[in-house]
Amino acid sequence: MNTRMRVLGAMSGTSLDGVDWAVIETNGKAITGFGPSGYRAYSTDEQALLRAALGQWDGPEVTAAADLVTRAHVEALSEAGPVDLMGFHGQTLAHDPGGRGTLQVGDGAALARALGAPVAWDFRSGDVAAGGQGAPLAPFYHFACAQKIGAQAPLAFLNMGGVGNLTWVDPMADAPETPGALLAFDTGPANAPLNDLMLLRCGVGFDRDGALAAQGQVDAGAVAAFLTHPYFAEPAPKSLDRDSFADLPTRVAHLPDADAAATLLAMSAGAVAAGLALCPTRPEHLLVTGGGRLNPVLMAQLSASCGVAVDPIDAVGLDGDMLEAQAFAYLAMRVHLGLPLSAPMTTGVPVAMTGGRVSHP
């Protein structure tokens, strides 16, 4: 396949912090180049509006969130310059595979009209309709990244955003949809519970550099009780909603602020360690993406809990802030070409699935 395109991807994740955008060059299989990237933060009021819509499927809060997400993406992506195609994930408000489905708000058609380029979007609903979890979707891009960095042995990519998700990759497989190439699943809560705690107790959106958690002591009993949750013993692939562990604030309600922060991070790290036990082989390397890699307390807890080499993905020359946005650029190209976006061992879908739709200006 020789067709290469300049594709812009955007991601507004479960941390609700803002819109990441990034440009890559790709033929839908290999990453052939990296372009510019950027970020458009959500204001405090915008974050509050999005939080008010979390877990809802319709109603005025959902409509307001959809309008905000579309408007914010128009503002953000207009800075990227000319591209051949855009990938627009939207904002997940509710995720209930096997039940009501999955809801990502934002209007890809309006985005295409506003920005004058075709937009691939609605990436998850086809997978869910076919019986998959609809998440995670970055694993196919992780496969391309493993090949881009020349990996020769199985490794794992760990995204620590609002929810943690892990992709085990055999970089020597022929394609991401090849049986045995990938295993992917959500590990458990990542930054979302700590961010919520910081907002509730301290009035700030996150624990910068793990400064509060670094002062705390982990409540080992609370962590051990948390890890008895049946989710951790379920086979992969599997996925979570941002609020699947909504009881976490009550699990640390008895603790002072610093101890609560340290304990929530230990829960996240323990969930990752439990996830590694589900992988086909133990990966040689755990490459961490997302905001969690910037928290030295969390990184230290991951190293202690997981028993493998743990590094921020930036250590191998990839962009840990923009990997998710790049992933949806890569997936947009695959939508354009009609290539699979997911497979049985990434989302639990019965067969490798194409998906998404493209809106034109």
Written as one string, the DSSP assignment of 148-185 is: HTT--S-EEEEEESSEEEEEEE-TTSSSTTSTTSEEEE
Query: pLDDT value at position 3?
Result: 87
Report the pLDDT value the prediction gives residue 241, as an integer from 0 to 100: 67
Please report the pLDDT score of residue 258 as a whole number: 96
Nearest to 13 by CA among 115, 137, 129: 137
Domains of the chain: 5-134+322-359 (3.30.420.40), 150-316 (3.30.420.40)
Measured CA to CA, the distance from residue 40 to residue 316 in angstroms comes to 26
| Full DSSP string of 226-283 | HTTSGGGGSPSS----TTTTTTHHHHTTTS-HHHHHHHHHHHHHHHHHHHHTTSSS--
Neighbours of 2 (CB within 10 A): 4
Scanning the chain, the segments in alpha helix (DSSP H) are 44-53, 60-77, 108-115, 125-129, 139-148, 191-202, 220-226, 248-251, 257-276, 296-306, 323-337, 344-347
pLDDT along the chain (361 residues), means of 10: 88 89 98 97 96 96 98 97 97 90 97 98 96 92 97 96 92 97 94 88 90 96 96 89 80 95 96 96 94 93 95 96 96 98 96 97 96
Q: Which amino acid appears at position 42 of this protein? A: Y
Q: What is the pLDDT of residue 75?
A: 97
Output the pLDDT for position 344.
97
Question: What pLDDT shows up at residue 244?
Answer: 81
Q: What is the pLDDT of residue 249?
A: 85
Six token digits for residue 207: 């624990």
Q: What is the dihedral of CA 81, 87, 93, 99, to 10 degrees?
A: 170
